[in-house]
Amino acid sequence: MGELNWAGNYEYRAQRIARPGTIDELRDLVTSARSVRALGSRHSFNDLADDDELLVSTAGLPAGIRIDEEARTVAVGGGVRYGDLARELQEAGWALHNLASLPHISVAGAIATATHGSGDRNGNLATAVAGLRILTASGETVELRRGDEGFDGAVVSLGALGVVTEVTLDIRPTFDARQRLFGGVPWEAVTGRFDEITSAAYSVSLFTTWDEPALDLAWIKELDGVEATVGDDFFGAPALTEARHMIPAMDVRNTTQQLGVPGPWSERLAHFRFEFTPSNGAEIQSEYLVPRPRAVEAIEAVRALGPLIAPVLQVSEIRTAAADALWMSSAYETDVVGLHFTWLRDQEGVEAVLPALEQALLPLGARPHWGKLYLDRDGVVPTLYPRLGDFRALTERFDPERRFRNAFLTRLLG
């Protein structure tokens, strides 16, 4: 068997995975390949990161973390994991605006797919990007800053422009946060008071298997000392007095500290602890980012499919992200509600339920997460990105010989 992604549901078809330790080695590899892609921390669930010839892993490239206090930015090697970056920032008194659920993912890999956390006013992780350094197929280094022509198309790049060797991210002074869980949110509250629920704290996530009488869990993250605390009742759901994993059977020690204990952002904004390193995922994920005005309709549509999806579902998460201007972002020009599915690692079973789910969600304008499993049998996804043509033109400019265009991108861009 060849090399697998983190979840073990996808085997890379590339003939070779190279692990350069310097930018010069990386340049030699990229310029001598007919076809090549960057490989981050392997947390995607589909063939987006793959190539039929060469994958260059970014894991061994220099971390190069440099904080610019005056500009309030940090420059970081693209292969650095958020957890490592968060530790360094916290030690120096700085913070990022948000994190994804897992801190083990690479910075460049996460922004390439518009990876997000939760929070009505929080843009996805790509919105923190202030600058990019990209090694292109010709071996040239291109620097782009926010405001430059093409920048908004280059951040969520799907790996199509070249290898992102350095990312500059906005930072802010460090802050403390605390998280609490509430059990049993009534469905009527979710569908009737959705905006109040998701705006109740800095970050709100709802966990459900869709078939319970009341939605299983609300997981809120509040900024310590800034926001009024949500009381001990969250729209009819009582605060839990014991810590919990979002999947009841899983070990709670894998999750970040709960029960309202304040702590640095770097140890509260992700759901999972950085110290916990799972050997493999034993799961598959899908996620659909629904334009906010259609959110309740989408939630009701998925509830109606509850019995169909239950046999392959571990848990779902409902969360939000703010609109942005990045051409290939799932939140391009619209606030979104993410309907996320952590499935069993049953590829066939999951692929059997996705068509019904996509028939319910894609017509509402839902954009599938680029790094998670989706099918799009009817070819709807390209129509959901008004700037797709501009993005295609940008990829042609950066990569005229299409050496970074793999099967996934050919399906999307032609």
Ligand X SMILES: Cc1cc2nc3c(=O)[nH]c(=O)nc-3n(C[C@H](O)[C@H](O)[C@H](O)COP(=O)(O)OP(=O)(O)OC[C@H]3O[C@@H](n4cnc5c(N)ncnc54)[C@H](O)[C@@H]3O)c2cc1C
Please report, as ranges, the residues that interact with ligand X according to CB under 6 A. 6-7, 37-44, 48-49, 58, 78, 100-102, 105-106, 108-110, 112-113, 115-116, 157-159, 163-164, 281, 285, 369, 371
3-class DSSP string for 41-92: CCCCCCHHHCCCCEEEECCCCCCCCEEECCCCEEEEECCCEHHHHHHHHHHC
Nearer to ligand X, 107 or 189 (CB): 107
Closest residue to ligand X, judged by C-beta, is: 109
Nearer to ligand X, 106 or 256 (CB): 106
Pick the closest to residue 108 from 84, 87, 80 (CA basis): 80
Pick the closest to residue 366 from 318, 307, 308 (CA basis): 318
Closest contact distance (angstroms) between CB of 73 and ligand X is: 18
Q: Which two tokens stand for residue 342?
A: 């952590």
Closest contact distance (angstroms) between CB of 109 and ligand X is: 2
Per-residue DSSP letter, 106: B
Q: How far apart are the C-alpha atoms of 285 and 276, rounded to whole Å?
A: 19
Q: H helices within 291-401, ranges in order?
A: 295-304, 306-309, 347-361, 388-398
Closest contact distance (angstroms) between CB of 399 and ligand X is: 12
Closest contact distance (angstroms) between CB of 310 and ligand X is: 21
Closest contact distance (angstroms) between CB of 292 and ligand X is: 17
Q: Which two tokens stand for residue 82?
A: 């958020």
Nearer to ligand X, 111 or 299 (CB): 111
Closest contact distance (angstroms) between CB of 137 and ligand X is: 12
Nearer to ligand X, 54 or 112 (CB): 112
Nearer to ligand X, 30 or 189 (CB): 30
Q: Which two tokens stand for residue 92?
A: 């120096």
Nearer to ligand X, 44 or 208 (CB): 44
Using the Cα atoms of residue 57, residue 46, residue 129 and residue 141 in order, give the sign of their dihedral: positive
